[in-house]
Amino acid sequence: MAFSQAEVLAGLAEIVNDETGIATESVQLEKSFTDDLDIDSISMMTIVVNAEDKFGVKIPDEEVKNLITVGDAVNFIVSAQG
Amino acid sequence: MTQPVLNQYDVVKYSRIYALGAARGDLTVTNDDIAGPIDSSDEWIRQRTGIVTRKRASKDLSLMDMAVDASNQAIKAAGIDPQEIGAVIFSTITHPFQTPSAAALLADKIGANPAPAYDVSAACAGYCYGIAQADALVRSGMAKYVLVVGGEKLTDFIDPTDRSISFLLGDGAGAAIVGPSDFPGISPTVWGSDGSHWDAVSMTSSLLDFRDGSAAWPTLRQEGQTVFRWAVWEMAKTARKALEVAGVEPEQLSALVTHQANIRIIDELAKQLKLPESVVVARDIVTTGNTSAASIPLAMHALLESGEVKSGGLALEIGFGAGLAFGAQVVVLP
């Protein structure tokens, strides 16, 4: 069963919270991972790998640099689901 | 005329590491010393890498000087005659001659001439590759003792303005004597390579481009995110496989000694392996930096010297880096 956009956002917020301690309610679609949430490249990769596990998708290394905002990541994950 | 029956080597059942030696660069370089050209700060470097200071070699301290120092320490601690060394394996990516090998000169300088001697180019996996070969040479009967050295003077191949890898790097050499044993001291090695990521850790250009004037002096670069993902999640699989083939449970380890790439990789890898707190995780990177092939023997030597781990305990050592090459084995601490 595919995850909805709201479910992916909620799941991603939990992953971000686990990795960085950032409150889940701060993880909003328009927020930039680096500029707003101050997430560095290594934490970003940990979030990506955990998101792959959680949502059953593949996020290639070359795609990670295009995931500027939380919304970019949510949309990529939603569309990458089988 | 009858066909003669050939002699072959008599095999030896077990091997182990007898002793280690360690030599680090003579300069202590702080984050503030190198932060300017990369527009960074002590705090930024500590947070992203765990490095507080790194050891680097001054112009007059060569790769060979450090390798000889570490090797002589290991030979002395092992209590062997260097003439009993049946092979010298030097893992390095920073020997500044295409040929002859660094190993042949090292063998002569430490009194092991005419032992067979050769270099291994497996970057940060080089020491584990060397231990794998030493184990095979000893147990096959080809060599009584093997000297394995992981040594680098990486600062000859860095760019002070590079933000991908140069600021992590340090200089040093670690040495191990491997020989015959009454008990199993080196597990089967899990090793390999993945050339599909040949560019993930590499040089800015080839020496030919430099000769032709089309490129600057080649220096190291890495694709940090690609390497981080591989070094943690793929290497966790390799580490688990190494434990499995060794017949060792994680809680039976005394220490995890990974290649000292970056504290974030070391900590995340330890987390993935779900190691109990009783397992000491080597973090020599904090004061030594990333010394590529030298980092595992330097880190293990430091743990033994400080008394954090004891001789006879089990350590999982895992090296990973450019190639991408990787190697892991469980060893009994010397």
Which spans in chain A are helix H?
Answer: 5-20, 41-55, 61-64, 70-80
Neighbouring CB atoms inside 10 A of B208's CB total: 10
> Which residue from B minimizes the CA distance to A43?
B264
Q: How far apart are CA A60 and CA A55, in angstroms?
A: 14
Per-residue pLDDT, averaged over B281-295, amounts to 98
**Residue A72: exposure state from Cβ atoms within 10 A (0-12, 13-18, ≥19):** middle
The number of domains in chain A is: 1
Residues B122, B100 share a domain: yes
Q: How far apart are CA B145 and CA B87, in angstroms?
A: 7
Residues B156, B214 share a domain: no
Asked if the Cβ–Cβ distance from B233 to A41 is below 8 Å, we say no
pLDDT range class, residue B10, cuts 50, 70, 90: very high
Q: What is the CATH number of the domain that holds B295?
A: 3.40.47.10
- The beta-carbon neighbor of B229 closest among A40, A61, A65 is A61
What percent of chain B stands above pLDDT 70?
A: 100
pLDDT in tens, B22-57: 999 999 999 999 999 999 999 999 988 999 999 999
- For residues B257 and B317, the answer to whether their CB atoms sit within 8 Å is yes
State which residues form the domain around A12. Answer: 5-80
- For residues B245 and B188, the answer to whether their CB atoms sit within 8 Å is yes
For residue B47, list chain A residues with Cβ-Cβ distance below 8 A.
40
Helix (H) or strand (E) holding A6: helix A5-20
> Which residue from B minimizes the CA distance to A41?
B225
Residues B165, B44 share a domain: yes
Residues B216, B75 share a domain: no
* Structure-block tokens of residue B156: 């000859």
Asked if the Cβ–Cβ distance from B225 to A61 is below 8 Å, we say yes
pLDDT in tens, A4-24: 999 999 999 999 999 999 999
Note if the bond before A60 is cis, omega within 30 degrees. no
Per-residue pLDDT, averaged over B265-286, amounts to 95
- The beta-carbon neighbor of A42 closest among B223, B233, B264 is B264
Per-residue pLDDT, averaged over B282-297, amounts to 98
pLDDT range class, residue B185, cuts 50, 70, 90: very high
Asked if the Cβ–Cβ distance from A61 to B226 is below 8 Å, we say yes
Q: What is the dihedral sign for C-alpha B97, B101, B107, B108?
A: negative
Residues B304, B205 share a domain: yes
Asked if the Cβ–Cβ distance from B225 to A64 is below 8 Å, we say yes
Residues B126, B202 share a domain: no
Say yes or no: A6 contacts chain B, CB-CB below 8 A.
no
Say yes or no: A61 contacts chain B, CB-CB below 8 A.
yes
Residues B114, B23 share a domain: yes
For residue A48, list chain B residues with Cβ-Cβ distance below 8 A.
229
Q: How far apart are CA B298 and CA B288, in angstroms?
A: 9
Neighbouring CB atoms inside 10 A of B134's CB total: 26
Residue A41 C-alpha, separation from nearest chain B C-alpha, in angstroms: 7
In a domain, B62, yes or no: yes
Does the pLDDT at position B84 exceed 70?
yes
* Structure-block tokens of residue A80: 């990458």
In B95-144 the beta strands, taken as DSSP E runs, fall at: 117-120
Residues B257, B322 share a domain: yes
> Which residue from B minimizes the CA distance to A48?
B229
> Which residue from A minimizes the CA distance to B200?
A61
Q: What is the pLDDT of residue B40?
A: 92
Q: What is the pLDDT of residue B175?
A: 98
Largest CA distance in chain B: 79
Annotated catalytic residues of B are: 124, 259, 290
Q: What angle, 0 to 180 degrees and rounded to 10, lies between the N-to-C axes of helices A70-80 and A41-55?
A: 30
**Residue B210: exposure state from Cβ atoms within 10 A (0-12, 13-18, ≥19):** middle
Q: Which amino acid is at B32?
A: D
Give the distance, in angstroms, between the CA of residue A33 and the centroid of all CA atoms in the same chain: 9
Please provide the average confidence, as pLDDT, over all residues in chain B.
Answer: 97
Residues B218, B88 share a domain: no
Residues B196, B167 share a domain: no
Asked if the Cβ–Cβ distance from A49 to B229 is below 8 Å, we say yes
Q: Which amino acid is at B37?
A: P
In a domain, B82, yes or no: yes
Residues B256, B115 share a domain: no
Does the pLDDT at position A82 exceed 80?
no
Residue B325 C-alpha, separation from nearest chain A C-alpha, in angstroms: 19
- For residues A33 and A48, the answer to whether their CB atoms sit within 8 Å is no
Q: What is the CATH number of the domain that holds A11?
A: 1.10.1200.10
The number of domains in chain B is: 2
pLDDT in tens, B124-183: 999 999 999 999 999 999 999 999 999 999 999 999 999 999 999 999 999 999 999 999
Give buried/exposed letters for B315-330 (b at 16+ CB in 10 A, else e): bbbbbbbbbbbbbbbb
* Structure-block tokens of residue B176: 């191990």
- For residues B16 and B334, the answer to whether their CB atoms sit within 8 Å is yes
Q: What is the pLDDT of residue A2?
A: 84
Q: What is the pLDDT of residue A61?
A: 87
pLDDT in tens, B224-263: 889 999 999 999 999 999 999 999 999 999 999 999 999 9
**How do beta strands B190-193 and B325-332 pair?**
antiparallel
Residues B200, B167 share a domain: no
Give the distance, in angstroms, between the CA of residue B280 and the centroid of all CA atoms in the same chain: 19
Looking up tokens 């060979």 gives B64
Does the pLDDT at position A1 exceed 80?
no
* Structure-block tokens of residue A63: 């795609």
State which residues form the domain around B307. Answer: 190-332
- For residues B220 and B157, the answer to whether their CB atoms sit within 8 Å is yes
Residue A44 C-alpha, separation from nearest chain B C-alpha, in angstroms: 9
Residue A68 C-alpha, separation from nearest chain B C-alpha, in angstroms: 15
Say yes or no: A59 contacts chain B, CB-CB below 8 A.
no
Q: What is the pLDDT of residue B228?
A: 92
Interface of A with B in 34-53 (CB under 8 A): 40-42, 44-46, 48-49
Q: What is the pLDDT of residue A37?
A: 92
Per-residue pLDDT, averaged over B47-71, amounts to 97
Instruction: Flag the least confident range among B82-86, B189-193, B268-272.
Output: B268-272
pLDDT in tens, B192-207: 999 999 999 999 999 9
